[in-house]
Structure 1
Amino acid sequence: MVVRPERLQKGDQVGIIAPAGPIIHMEKLRAAIPFFEELGLQPVFGKHVQETNGYLAGTDQQRLEDLHEMFANPDIKAIFCARGGYGTGRIASDIDYELIKKHPKIFWGYSDITYLHTAIRQRTNLVTFHGPMLTSDIAKEDFDQLSASRFSQLFQAESFTYTEEIAPLGVISPGEATGELVGGNLSLLVSTLGTSFEMNTAGKLLLLEDIGEEPYKVDGMLNQLKIAGKLENVAGVVLGDFANAESTLDASFTLQEVFQNYFQSLNRPVLAGFKIGHCFPHIAVPLGVSARLCSTDKTLTIEAGVC
């Protein structure tokens, strides 16, 4: 059964953690705090959010401790990840999922956080949120109003329909389908294969996005999903933003050609161009809720993520 976290109220305390890469410049993290204060929220930093351990924000135990403490603390009503980078897969096996079941709450992030979205959803049925993070997005000068507006979904149970009013969409395979919206960063989803956190895609609407991956690398990852059987039974595919994907090879397929190769004959709806991922605007969406993808009117309609 889908578990929706409770909506936020003005005055709520929200936790800020760094479960992946380190916060190199704390001023960037602090620059994002006024955004939350304008929403009427009170940000609370995790105990180890300023730690640096190589390319990680502290040791595995420190990052795990902050995650657990934020879920356990009844005064914290939501948890926002400061940034992605690398490292969440290292702590997934040690997370106390029973703790999360007992204290379900809003959990928000993207990119490397995809590993936690997948692990938490498949172990607890909790709806989580794929959306902009503090140092990666909110603190930047070009963080836009449309991206900011999607935080409203945390304060009220509202469905959302993505249309071409946001950005043009391309139909790679026509059709209409309804299924649970899952996924996130392609490279992170591939990294779950062969583990106890392997992503279940059967009957799902699969969201894929990535950054800095050339067409041949995207080809390789999609091929791995294909031969692992992860594309056979999907209800449909939602292709988000693939930033910085230009090829450095002398001869190459375009990213569009790669997508067509894998999805054109899928006989399920596949639409590309969603501004979801490492981009602005960055449209935040709940994962684990029912959604409808339609190629006729080029829409993605998503149920509310909170109760």
Structure 2
Amino acid sequence: MIQPKNLQKGDTVGLLALACKVDFQALIPAIEILENVWGLKVVLGTSLKSEFHQFAGTDEIRANDFQEMLDNPTIKAIFSARGGYGSSRILDQIDFTKFVQSPKWVVGFSDITAVLCHIHNLNIESLHATMPKLFLQEGGEVSLESLRKILFGESLNYTIPSLTLNRIGKAQGQLIGGNLAILTHIIGSKSDIETAGKILFLEDVNEYLYSIDRMMIQLKRAGKLENLAGLIVGHFSDLQDNTVPFGKTANEIIQDAVAGYSFPVCYNFPVGHEPENWTMPIGRQVNLDIQETEVSLQEVLM
């Protein structure tokens, strides 16, 4: 797996919107962080000030932005300002030839999971991480700092308290995953990812409980769970239920879906649609160690 070069002060990065439209004025504080705190130069995409219904401009505008930034050798990282919906609409229009020849970091989460998975299939690392729209959200300081550290070359080393719900064990493998709805959405497409022998992490937001169950069953039926090395369950936020309750929490739904397997499982990891959304390098070799008192996730140092 190819790891793009670490950022250095003075590097140029791109900021665009791959999915839903954004309020450009609300992004100015994030741009100031990138420029004045991190010491980077920011190139702005046309999509940041475009809109087409709910999207950040037409598919053509968003695809052109992405293509130009992928092809521009001076741009060392690309940040999607937000997610929402729409990045998978443009993926098949993108020519990744120059990107493969000269890899750079692509950063985002939620709907951007589709892009990160597509890049994973090109054998290049990308970053599931907080996005500029959320840089200054209350409680998100650790998430933002985790992004800075990974981008500038510090190694991944996370530790959290363990839960009784966890399944104890150790695993090593490539770190993959993201938004559950998007991971099921891309099954059967060019962006679909192989999960065997890897450590999968999942998160989602604003879904009905029965939908969480349906998507977990889809992953199971598609063979995405049976050969995992390990599973990390992140935030499942703002979930909804029907008038007749589904009867299980998200964690219980996932616990049932993986009951027949023996790989270690960690719940309530700080990744997803909450302020604590720690950066996860997609494709990096990591060690997952789930013990009774704590859980650690560390990169395998080569």
TM-score range relative to shorter protein = over 0.9
The equivalent residue for 2:44 is 45
Whether 1:219 aligns to 2:207 is no
Q: CA deviation at 1:56?
A: 1.2
Q: CA deviation at 1:143?
A: 4.7
Whether 1:292 aligns to 2:287 is yes
Q: Contact 1:12–1:42 at 8 Å: present in 2 too?
A: yes
Distance between the aligned counterparts of 1:144 and 1:188, measured in 2?
23
The equivalent residue for 2:149 is 152
TM-score, length basis structure 2? 0.93
Distance between the aligned counterparts of 1:107 and 1:42, measured in 2?
16
Distance between the aligned counterparts of 1:100 and 1:117, measured in 2?
13
Distance between the aligned counterparts of 1:84 and 1:170, measured in 2?
33
Unaligned runs of 5+ in 1: none
Calculate the aligned-residue CA RMSD, in Å: 1.7
Q: CA deviation at 1:103?
A: 2.2
Q: Contact 2:24–2:48 at 8 Å: present in 1 too?
A: no
The equivalent residue for 1:138 is 135
**Residue correspondence of structure 1 range 107-256 to structure 2 within 5 A:** 107-122=106-121, 124-135=122-133, 137-140=134-137, 142-150=138-146, 151-156=148-153, 158-164=154-160, 169=163, 171-252=165-246, 253-256=248-251
Q: Could you tell me the percent identity over the aligned residues?
A: 37
Distance between the aligned counterparts of 2:5 and 2:299, measured in 1?
17
Q: CA deviation at 1:97?
A: 1.8
The equivalent residue for 2:83 is 84
Q: Secondary structure at the match of 2:143?
A: helix
Distance between the aligned counterparts of 1:169 and 1:209, measured in 2?
17
Q: Contact 1:13–1:78 at 8 Å: present in 2 too?
A: yes
Unaligned runs of 5+ in 2: none
Q: CA deviation at 1:170?
A: 5.1
Q: Secondary structure at the match of 1:247?
A: coil
Counterpart amino acid of 1:210? D
The equivalent residue for 1:268 is 263
Distance between the aligned counterparts of 1:98 and 1:171, measured in 2?
44
TM-score, length basis structure 1? 0.92
Counterpart amino acid of 1:93? D
Distance between the aligned counterparts of 2:290 and 2:11, measured in 1?
39
Distance between the aligned counterparts of 1:147 and 1:169, measured in 2?
21
The equivalent residue for 1:35 is 33
Whether 1:26 aligns to 2:4 is no
Distance between the aligned counterparts of 2:142 and 2:164, measured in 1?
21
1:46-83 per-position Cα deviation (integer Å, ceiling 9, x unaligned): 13321101121111121111111112112211111100
Q: Contact 1:3–1:126 at 8 Å: present in 2 too?
A: yes
Q: CA deviation at 1:249?
A: 3.5
Q: CA deviation at 1:263?
A: 2.0
Equivalent residue pairs, number: 297
